[in-house]
Chains A and B, each alone.
Chain A
Amino acid sequence: MSVIAYGAARAGLRNSGALLNRNWVAMRRAWILILSGAVESLLFLFAFGFGVGALVGDITLPNGTTVSYTAYVAPAILANAAMMGVLAETSINVFAKFKWMKVYDGILNTPLRPWDVALGEVWWALIRGFTYIGAFVVVMGLFGLLDSWWALLAIPACVFIALAFAGIGLTLATLFRDWTDFDWMNAVVFAMFLFGGTFTPVEAYPAFAQPIVYVMPLYHGIELVRGISLGQLGPMMLVHIAYLLALAVGGMWIAQRRLARALYK
């Protein structure tokens, strides 16, 4: 049994690895695009963290502790960076490969299955996402925004965010019919960025708005990364992780089902 499981796992990794290789070969000439995404997040950090942060100074959190506003905002922008890199890769790029360039049509004539395609796209999105995250954390460290070595745990915390948005992005890529649908996605993403607890604690919002925020995947990502960066750990973190993992698994499952339905006509 375990031999079969091992064999299946190996074949699964080999198959999704082949897709990963395809994306690497296709994108290695366009690495500048990936770099530009990382720069965008850093610009946000400078604008809000240092620009606005200099005006706000310190902020008192709901639990009573006081931190500098820059240290408060930086983890949220890191979480946002983890989301953006992965979401762009899985939604827009997968949509283009799926419906526009018909890349998967050719691939499914090989031993690869829709599940391998979904998994391979997630690997690739994670790699791209982590080029952003890595660059960002280095900059945070250089500006003294990482309070302790614990803060390095923010990087694996970003894995959960990246996984969740890889699942969401893949599902959106299979749901969307047209490029205009991405305008909706971008609007929602921007709303999450503004109101997901990036700039102020959620407790500052009116009571009716708070449940909406709790549903936002980015909110859970921000809370997770911020808690770790500020060294404020708690049981709620397990809730954040569970929520993000559920989105990741659910999203990938729906996406591969929809890919199979569309391509195995």
Chain B
Amino acid sequence: MPDDNEILVSAADLRKSYGEHEAVRGVDFEIRRGEAFGFLGANGAGKSTTMRMIGCVSQPTGGTLEVFGRDPHTEGAAIRARLGVVPQDNTLDDMLTVFENLVVYAGYFGIRKKAARAKAEELLDFVQLSARAKDQVSDLSGGMQRRLAIARSLINDPELVILDEPTTGLDPQARHLVWERLFQLKHRGVSILLTTHYMDEAEQLCDRLVVMDEGRIIASGSPRELIDTHVTKEVVELRFGTAHTAELAALAHTLDGVGAQIEPLPDKILVYTDDADDTNAALEARDIHPSSVLARRATLEDVFLRLTGRALVEDEA
């Protein structure tokens, strides 16, 4: 019986530098069997570098890292044999068909041809690509290529699947298809490790997550815990016509006290509050009339914003 508390990955003061640039600046975390663990952060936060170190294709420059209780430096091949990896850019083999991609990849794990073909058929069915088995990879849409990369990562029945930004660049429909497949995996008890800069993705998929910023972990916990700890229950978004950065910052001063915290952004002002109705009443009382008012539940995006003062996805540009 697999031990539910078994630790698959543990890192202590893990670091990675590229020359002068320190991409990962001492992170600590533990990933347990059966959980879906997320790394949330903007681009350049050090998420992918951490994933590559766990995947044994990048050597740490400091701290300790153990995967399946082994040392990635000396036992990289043995660890990789038990991992499934979906890289950010898929790295599918463009010279092969969809089906061949899976069968040939199985060969890298020493899986025999007959077993590989059976597994490939099963996985194509799982990611709903059976009809495209004979197509060239380049003929697939972005979402299909990502699903194929997910199928490929499962060819060796991995104990841990690592997905680096699984839905970045996909359209909403394709994202939902990927999410749905990942939910299925979770239900099968496969341990999942993913990075994302979409808070909705982290919120939906992850049992536990860490928030990374500039190479460090700045918060960790379940999505609910993070929200409870770092932000209020509700958020009221206020817009004032075409008012922008400086004007909004000035306006923010007049809002003192209508909520627990006021956060002016370039296009709107966020009011963190435990009760949106109270906030609305307070605005009314001060005779402040935004052009639009939107009250919503607090999300991980708000957590990130509170912790770093920056929005997540805006960093993409």
Contacts and interface: CB of A to CB of B under 8 A. Distances in A.
Tell me if chain B binds chain A: yes
Contact of A26 (B80, B87, B93, B107): B93
B57 A109 contact: yes
A27 to B, nearest CB: 8
A106 B91 contact: yes
B42 interface: no
A26 B110 contact: no
Contacts of B87: 105-106, 109
B37 to A, nearest CB: 19
A111 interface: yes
B95 A26 contact: yes
Given A264-B57, A264-B58, A265-B58, A111 B108 contact: yes
B154 to A, nearest CB: 13
A265 B232 CA distance: 41
B94 A14 contact: no
Contacts of B58: 264-265
Interface string B103-117: 111011110000000
Nearest to A101: B94
A14 B113 CA distance: 13
A213 to B, nearest CB: 39
B259 interface: no
B260 interface: no
A110 B105 contact: yes
Contact of B108 (A26, A105, A112, A264): A112
A18 B109 CA distance: 8
B77 interface: yes
A116 to B, nearest CB: 9
Interface residues of A, number: 24
Which residue of A18, A105, A107, A109 has the most chain B CB atoms within 10 A of its CB atom? A109
B107 A21 contact: yes
Interface in A130-181: none
B151 to A, nearest CB: 13
B95 A110 contact: no
Interface string A226-265: 0000000000000000000000000000000000000111
B52 interface: yes
A108 B156 CA distance: 15
Contacts of A112: 77, 108
Main secondary structure of the interface of A (DSSP, over half): helix
A111 B81 contact: yes
A224 B293 CA distance: 86
Contacts of B89: 102, 105
A215 interface: no
Contacts of B109: 110-111
A124 to B, nearest CB: 13
A102 B58 CA distance: 17
B143 interface: no
A103 interface: yes
A253 B103 CA distance: 29
Nearest to A93: B95
A33 to B, nearest CB: 12
B206 interface: no
B96 interface: yes
A25 interface: yes
A111 B100 contact: no
Contacts of B103: 25
A263 B108 contact: no
A264 B77 CA distance: 13
B107 A22 contact: yes
B78 interface: yes
Interface string B61-105: 000000000000000111011010101011111111000100111
Nearest to B97: A25
B290 to A, nearest CB: 48
Interface in B130-186: 152, 156
Contacts of B80: 109-111
B301 to A, nearest CB: 30
B91 to A, nearest CB: 3
B59 interface: yes
A265 B100 CA distance: 28
The 7 closest A-B CB pairs, nearest first, are: A106-B91, A110-B108, A18-B107, A26-B95, A109-B85, A111-B77, A105-B91
Given A106-B105, A110-B109, A111-B108, 8 more contacts: A22-B93, A25-B103, A103-B91, A106-B90, A109-B83, A110-B80, A110-B105, A111-B80
29 contacts: A14-B110, A17-B107, A21-B104, A21-B107, A22-B96, A26-B93, A26-B96, A101-B93, A101-B95, A102-B89, A102-B91, A103-B91, A103-B93, A103-B94, A105-B87, A105-B89, A105-B91, A106-B92, A106-B93, A106-B105, A107-B108, A109-B85, A110-B105, A110-B108, A111-B110, A264-B57, A264-B59, A265-B52, A265-B57
